A and B are shown apart, each in its own frame.
Chain A
């Protein structure tokens, strides 16, 4: 009955490879996000989708491409991985409503690029 689930939990890969991280939420939320937490624990938003439409795209290299096939899924594809991409990537979702609803995070994908 996991609310926001990400796969894989760990991902170790070599520089130059292409990889994907999947995220699904069963909460019926309209908005989904990708956050990156680097080695200094700084959590920074990358993308935000609302009902499959991109609404926030921070300054992220275009090697990162989110895809939302439906409002319950937001996947992240990364091309030509670099050492600096090593981080924990968190998917999150939030319900509709006025103001700022709470974020529900997945348990993260720890990406290590060697």
Chain B
């Protein structure tokens, strides 16, 4: 089983719709969780951290389910500019060092 697993998509969603995708992780000792966004041929950028209680940032909501070992990202009222690849990132402590493990990403295209 991969350490961090995501549905690669692509998800093609009409503008204004709500879209959600999940990410599962294998290491139950994982401690921190993030969503990064990567535009085509660009570098990844932090979108938001994911807190145990769930958190919201504008149209974006992230949730963590430790029991089932998955995190989710919900995008409401999607915009054309939301088209990107969304990378699920999990922090694992490895021999005292923090190591961020990236999923392969979920590709989202918002259609006008």
Contacts and interface: CB of A to CB of B under 8 A. Distances in A.
A60 B88 CA distance: 23
Interface residues of A: mostly helix, strand, loop or mixed? loop
Interface stretch (B20-28, B54-62, B91-99): B91-99
Contact of A105 (B45, B98, B104): B45
A106 interface: yes
| Interface class of chain B by DSSP | strand
A103 B105 contact: no
Give the most central of A40, A43, A90: most B CB within 10 Å: A43
Given A43-B44, A103-B44, A106-B43, A48 B32 contact: no
A48 B97 contact: yes
Contacts of B94: 56
B11 interface: no
B102 interface: yes
B62 to A, nearest CB: 14
17 contacts: A43-B44, A43-B87, A43-B102, A44-B102, A45-B99, A55-B97, A56-B99, A90-B44, A100-B31, A100-B32, A100-B100, A103-B36, A103-B44, A103-B46, A105-B43, A105-B45, A107-B43
Interface of A: 40-45, 48, 55-56, 90, 99-100, 102-103, 105-108
Interface of B: 31-32, 34, 36, 42-46, 49, 85, 87, 91, 94, 97-102, 104-105
Given A108-B42, A108-B43, 10 more contacts: A41-B85, A41-B104, A45-B100, A45-B101, A48-B97, A56-B94, A90-B44, A102-B34, A103-B100, A105-B43
